[in-house]
Amino acid sequence: MNENLLKISKEEIAKLPFEQQTVINSFNWGEIANQIGIKYLLGINEINKLQTEVLLVLIKMERIDDLSINIENNINVSEEKSKNISDEIIKQIFNPIAIKMDNAIKNKIQTQNPKWDQRVNFIISGGDYSYFIEK
């Protein structure tokens, strides 16, 4: 990933919610996109464009459903090749990130362990957050 794209990706990922930032930053998506680009014989400029397309989906500027079309149009590859590339990106990048994100959310919910009486006390208190603190 070139330095400019790396800088932009860090800035844009930093704007996401904390859990998403953590999961995305723990995953080497740029290198995986690079390896997929090499597999499909893309040049360095095309690989940078591919990484940009991945980033745009990660930061929710583009829809994952449009990935194949965006690859086809922006990297100038055939429809079949863009479909194969996008399928690999989904399998190797987006699916694992989605699983990690799902696990992170489940873990957060389990560790917070809210109790029914905390909610009742919060409502009765008129919104006093001190009832959320476990004693």
Q: What is the mean pLDDT of residues 112-126?
A: 59
The pTM is what? 0.75
Say yes or no to pLDDT of 121 above 70: no
Mean of per-residue pLDDT scores for the chain: 83
High-pLDDT (> 90) share of the chain, %:
47
- Looking at beta carbons, which pairs linking 76-85 to residues 24 or more positions away fall under 8 Å? 76/46, 77/40, 77/42, 77/46, 81/40, 84/40, 85/36, 85/37, 85/40, 85/50
- Banded model confidence at residue 109, pLDDT cuts 50, 70, 90: low
pLDDT at 133: 40
- Banded model confidence at residue 131, pLDDT cuts 50, 70, 90: very low
pLDDT higher at 1 or 113: 1
* Domain residue ranges in the chain: 3-132
CA-closest candidate to residue 73, choices 40, 49, 48: 49
Instruction: Report CA-CA distances (Å) from 5 to 10, 48, 53, 70.
Output: 9, 8, 11, 18
Say yes or no to pLDDT of 129 above 70: no
State which of 22-26, 104-108, 121-125 shows the largest mean pLDDT. 22-26
pLDDT in tens, 32-81: 999 999 999 999 999 999 999 999 999 888 999 999 999 999 999 999 99
Go through the chain and tell me how many residues it has. Answer: 135
